[in-house]
Amino acid sequence: MPLGNVAVTSYRFVVTIKGERIDVSRHYRTTNVWTKIQGRCQVVAHTAFVLDPKQAARLAGEPG
């Protein structure tokens, strides 16, 4: 959402690790605040957190 020289982005992503003895998925949500500094877009604030499995299922539209 652009607000003059500021924009806010928010998104979810999944990190999956699979190997011989491991199979792990973590769902995250992150928000960034961007602004133009000296003509370049830069992140000036960032937050990210792990969603618990019930939150992740609900946001994905799965029954939970």
Rounded to whole angstroms, the Cα distance separating 53 from 62 reads: 11
pLDDT at 37 over 60: yes
* Residue 40: inside a domain: yes
* Residue 14: inside a domain: yes
Predicted pLDDT of residue 2? 54
Give the C-alpha distances (Å, rounded to integers) separating 27 from 2, 34, 38, 59. 26, 23, 34, 10
pLDDT at 58 over 60: yes
Identify which of 12, 19, 22 has the alpha carbon closest to the alpha carbon of residue 50: 12
* Residue 35: inside a domain: yes
Predicted pLDDT of residue 56? 73
Name the domain count of the chain.
1
| Domain of 34, in residue numbers | 2-59
Rounded to whole angstroms, the Cα distance separating 5 from 63 reads: 40
pLDDT tier, 18 (very low <50, low <70, confident <90, very high otherwise): very high
* Residue 37: inside a domain: yes
pLDDT at 57 over 80: no
pLDDT at 64 over 60: no
* pTM confidence score: 0.65
